Amino acid sequence: MSEENVSRNFIEMEIDKDLEEGVYDHVHTRFPPEPNGYLHIGHAKSILLNYGLSREYRGKFNLRFDDTNPLKEDVEYVESIKSDVRWLGAEFNDNLFFASDYFEEMYQCALKLINKGVAYVDDLSADEIREYRGTLTKPGKNSPYRDRSIEENLELFDDMKNGKFADGEKVLRAKIDMASPNMNMRDPVIYRVSHVHHHNTGDMWCIYPMYDFAHPIEDAIEGITHSICTLEFEDHRPLYEWVVRECEFVNGPRQIEFAKLYLTNVVIGKRYIKKLVEDGVVDGWDDPRLVTIAALRRRGYTPEAIQNFVKLVGVAKSNSSVDYAMLEYCIREDLKLKKPRMMAVLDPIKLIIDNYPEGQEELLDIPNNLENADMEDRKVPFGKELYIEREDFMIEPPKKYFRLFPGNEVRLMGAYFVTCTDYKTDEEGKVTEIHCTYDPETKSGSGFNARKVKGTIHWVSAAHALKAEVRLYENLVDEEKGVYNEDGSMNLNPNSLTIIKDAYVENNLAGAKAHDSFQFVRNGYYCVDSKDTTKDHLVFNRIVTLKSSFKLPKA
Ligand code: ATP
Ligand code: MG
């Protein structure tokens, strides 16, 4: 039993009960992805839930590829899934399995069912099977082939296996109850003929098990105790139990369902993400606007933030959407104390300090993170010409604007007070240059307190700053407008990506490597893009804004 005494979710309570009653003497969970796409934040929830339970109860955790459907699967996805699961912190060590390795056992289970008289070969077509199945209000009716002898069934199933039938010509069905109120129990198909090459077993098989038959067998073979899945399988649970029982697994697994994770303003289903990738709407499965694990990682999310998010969301029994802002909250909280706060100017305008001596340069000591005393100061070059944010200057400011305007004095962060004396504009009236004077007495850290200023703005030295590309992201879809249109297409946000080509960042970012992240003061958290950054072209992804976010003026 777990030692934690905090409030327990319903899955933990079920497990506690099983252990107390001696149904199981240990806990063994698994994460069973189908390798038909990249993992997303919803999968992260399932991974961390299953892995977390195995840790909590000092049990085991398997990663199992549910690769029983050769039509949709691809080995490319296997590698991405393995690395994503590891990156999230769910260590599976050698407990890595492929359901296709169990095809022989599954086949033996099918033979067992036939021999017990609870499975039969059916000649009805898929359409006829559907028709015979009935509806929620109308019971189904028995297939005319339902009462074939065991011998005949064995022979026909053997022929299915040996390739004597074309796809769809015959199926193997469980013989349960065509009048069951649960449609899943109306003699479900458990094997189909499918002449397709499988990435693992090649052309060894031309019959493949159906999910509802294969899954409980996979769990049972691996000794899984608690097979945790999402709510849509609740109605399949009686079938899951039927398979475990009729295949005579001793101390077999049990299924427990929880609600899927949904996020507001986010495209989450694998199918939909795949479509965005295939249509070229996004730059691959790891486009930072997606919520695949690969995308979140590229964007600058950390495993800790995702772990914390999953914890905050909790485990529920009914479906609901979680506010995307909660995920953002988690990454902000994670980065807040860990990351240095650097200066970057995204929409630069030049500021010239007229009374700063020509040719002079200083290296200022600027704290990396005032909230974290363990982080030391860094040296930041300062000079006569700087860049500041365009929005930190106004010719005619509204009330309560405390930043730079003609005649006003502000603090340059970590440096000096400057007073705006003049500015220049182009023909269209756009400000091109700001002129200031500085007061050498006011240097940060000098203890100067003869007068105060209300605004502090950030800057970078024009002579030293590095040019960088910065990518700002917004939600890919807008729920208020409806994510999906009537024709099934998606309502995409045209502003989901803004590319700034000419941002300036302080030169301390020169050595930044892929996945490194920083706070850009007053701007947000940013991460070095792992795909497009090169030795002489830095690309930053905005992970998340600060609470009060800076908005780039619309061009
Ligand atoms: P999708 O709905 O995105 O197509 P899937 O369920 O088809 O995903 P699988 O590879 O079959 O993807 O899922 C592996 C595991 O992840 C399953 O146990 C599934 O229940 C779980 N899972 C999938 N989506 C979510 C989600 N949104 N929240 C929680 N768990 C999920
Ligand atoms: Mg699936």
pLDDT in tens, 435-456: 999 999 999 999 999 999 999 9
Q: Which ligand gives the minimal distance to the CA of 271?
A: 1
- Which residues surround ligand 1 with Cβ inside 6 Å? 32-34, 42-43, 45-46, 229-230, 260-261, 268-271
| Sheet with 189-193, side-by-side order of all strands | 119-122, 171-174, 189-193, 207-209
What are phi and psi for residue 331, nearest 5 degrees?
-75, -40
Counting Cα atoms < 13 Å in the Cβ hemisphere of 316 gives 13
Q: In the prediction, which pLDDT does 544 show?
A: 96
pLDDT computed for residue 479 by the predictor = 76
Confidence of residue 5 (pLDDT cuts 50, 70, 90): low
Going from the Cα of 42 to the center of ligand 1, the distance in angstroms, rounded, reads 7
Summarize pLDDT for 111-153 with one digit per residue, the tens. 999 999 999 999 999 999 999 999 999 999 999 999 999 999 9
Choose the residue to mutate in 31, 46, 62, 267 for probing ligand 1, maximizing ligand atoms within 8 Å of C-beta: 46
Protein residue whose Cα sits closest to atom 26 of ligand 1: 42
Q: How many helices and strands, by DSSP H and E, does the chain display?
A: 12, 27
Please choose from 82, 84, 230 the residue to mutate so as to test ligand 1's pocket, defined by most ligand atoms within 8 A of CB. Answer: 230
Angle subtended at Cα 18 by Cα 14 and Cα 20, rounded to the nearest 5 degrees: 115
pLDDT band at 490 (very low <50, low <70, confident <90, very high): confident
Chain mean pLDDT for the chain? 94
Using the atom order of ligand 1, give the atom closest to the CA of residue 268.
Answer: 3
Q: How many CB atoms lie within 10 A of CB 23?
A: 13
Percent of the chain exceeding pLDDT 90 equals 89
pLDDT of residue 486: 83
Structure tokens at 399: 């009330």
What 3-state DSSP class applies to 13? helix
1, 24, 49, 55 from 4: Cα distances, Å: 9, 20, 16, 12
Residues 364-419 have pLDDT tens digits of: 999 999 999 999 999 999 999 999 999 999 999 999 999 999 999 999 999 999 99
d(CA 155, CA 147): 14
> Poorest-confidence range of 225-229, 252-256, 267-271, 479-483?
479-483
> Looking at residue 482, what is its pLDDT?
77
CA 347-340-526 angle, 5° bins: 45
Phi/psi of residue 107, each to 5°? -60, -45
Q: How far is the CA of 19 from the centre of ligand 1 (A)?
A: 27
- Write the DSSP symbol of residue 75: H
